[in-house]
Amino acid sequence: MVKGMNMKTLKFYTIVLSLAVASCTKDKTDYEAEIDTVVTEYDEFKEAVAIRSEGYDVSIEALNGAFYKGYNEIRLKITNSQTNEKADASAVTFLPIKTDAEGSKFSCPHLYDLVSRPDDSYFSGYSVFTDESSTNGSWELYISFTIAGRTYAVKQNVSVQEQANKNLNMTTFTGKDDEQYFIALVSPQRPKVGENELVAGIYKFNKPINPPSGDFPDLSQFSYTEVSGYTLQLDPRMPEPSMGNHSSPNNKDLTQQGDGLYHGLVNYTMTGNWTLNFIMLNQKGQILKGTVVPDDFTPGVEGVKSELHIDILF
């Protein structure tokens, strides 16, 4: 028997310890059941949209042949409908527009002027869809291109699906500068236990200076840009009560690289629920969003999260 502890006291502590273990096991079971779901890693581009207009076929490819809420890399091809040969197109533009149940129209972060990849016979870009298609809102793509001095314009309704892979989650928020920002996770699709390169896109909505004018859509109303020279400080935690909101070593903040995306390093020490806590700094080092997460180990208590965070699960 422990010195200074009577039998009644020992029994009391034994009961408390048993309850704590049972609680921990229950918390673990809750999220461990979730991670039994197999996460499919998509690496093949397939046709998601096909449009035929005025003698030309426009094909838009995406990973798995579908559009999802969050970051979507796209590849657009234009061919002659009669010869099925690649068309000599230029000035290819891409604009996604969402119409909600009240008829209001919005866009999302996207690359408007697609980049020609002549060696691969396609134009590349991206779209960060902020919502799934539903009865409360639908998405439509507005595309234009120039061939032999003539500009063609086409549009097509598309379906945007829910992103089931939580490792590709995104968030939208207003910064301290009163600007609207978007952070979308790009990779890894399927993390491993250990160090993973973490890639994200950070975008800003360019507020219109003037009201809409001319034919719809007026591009000045739907303009987005990749932010440049920001820093996304990273503090990953396991927020489950059973995990005590513990972190991990060897993580690296996200900074912008040559592809326009933000790259860092996250170290997942085990599978389960993780929260990527962020603090976003502008080029001057000023905090635009995010709060410091306490270092306290809090077993049995849900972990505190930064006001800017993205939850993931693997």
User: Could you give the dihedral angle defined by the CA atoms of residues 266, 267, 273 and 274, in that order, rounded to the nearest 10 degrees?
Assistant: -40
**What does the CA dihedral 264, 231, 291, 200 come to, rounded to 10 degrees?**
-50
pLDDT in tens, 157-187: 999 999 999 999 999 999 999 999 999 999 9
Domain presence at residue 24? no
Give yes or no: residues 274 and 292 share one domain: yes
Q: Is the pTM of this model over 0.75?
A: yes
Q: What is the pLDDT of residue 10?
A: 40
pLDDT of residue 201: 98
The answer on 105 and 199 residing in a single domain is no
pLDDT of res. 34: 55
Is residue 36 in some structural domain?
no
* Sequence-distant (≥ 6) Cβ neighbours of residue 103 within 8 angstroms: none
d(CA 123, CA 126): 10
**Residues of the chain where predicted confidence (pLDDT) is lower than 70:** 1-38
Residues 121 and 54 occupy one common structural domain:
yes
The reply to whether 138 and 171 lie within a common domain is: no
Per-residue burial over 49-62, b = 16 or more CB atoms within 10 Å of its CB, e = otherwise: beeeeeebbbbbbb
Q: What is the tally of structural domains in the chain?
A: 2
Domain edge (last residue) among 114, 132, 161: 161
CATH number at residue 76: 2.60.40
In a domain, 139, yes or no: yes
* In-domain check, residue 1: no
Q: Are 152 and 144 in contact (CB under 8 A)?
A: yes
Is residue 185 located within the same domain as residue 309?
yes
Are 151 and 177 in a shared domain?
Answer: no
Do residue 304 and residue 205 come from a single domain? yes
The answer to whether residues 132 and 234 belong to one domain is no
Answer yes or no: is 11 within a domain: no
Give yes or no: residues 85 and 142 share one domain.
yes
Domain identity same for 220 and 266: yes
